[in-house]
Copies of this chain bind each other. A is one copy, B any other.
Amino acid sequence: MLPINGPGTAVYRVTVPAQPELIYDAIRNAGGRVTVSTRAVVEALLDGDRHLTADDIIAETERRTPGIAESTIYRVLQRLDELGVVEHVHSGHHATFYHLRDLGHAHLVCTGCGAIIDVPDRVLATVSTTVARDYGFTVDLHHTALNGRCADCRER
């Protein structure tokens, strides 16, 4: 187990290796069951675009393993989120997206084109530190994206 977030946010949960079987072991170790839907969702996240909305995941699993109910996908995502396998990110106007938990990065989401840019926690470490010091507030930069305009959209 590793501290997954930045300074001031030591959240200890399962570590997620980038291989299906290891992920499934992690899920079982954490008390979860590995079902057809579990596999479908994990595979979609592994293969996919890295930043998938629930809708993306529903479409992707439908392609791979037709017949899974949408509500099941939501429940799987919620469960994997609680287990620490998956992380969800709120991105303002845009849809919430999901990705496998990794060593820690925040997201910039462009309000113009919707582009999602990963930013290593290290880059934003001072925010966490400052806010913790001045406000006693433990920021979780993984849980909400930072909005703004990407370089391309800014030019327009």
Residues of A whose CB lies within 8 Å of any CB of B are 9, 90-93, 108, 110-111, 117, 119, 123-124, 126-127, 130-131, 134-141, 143-151, 154
Contacts and interface: CB of A to CB of B under 8 A. Distances in A.
Contacts of A110: 137
A143 B9 contact: no
- Interface of chain A: mostly helix, strand, loop or mixed: mixed
A91 B108 CA distance: 15
Contact of A108 (B111, B117, B135, B151): B135
A130 to B, nearest CB: 6
B154 A148 contact: no
Contacts of A93: 90
A137 B151 contact: yes
Contacts of A145: 144
19 contacts: A90-B92, A92-B143, A108-B135, A110-B137, A111-B140, A123-B130, A124-B130, A126-B127, A126-B130, A127-B146, A131-B146, A135-B150, A136-B154, A137-B151, A140-B147, A140-B149, A141-B146, A143-B147, A144-B145
A133 to B, nearest CB: 10
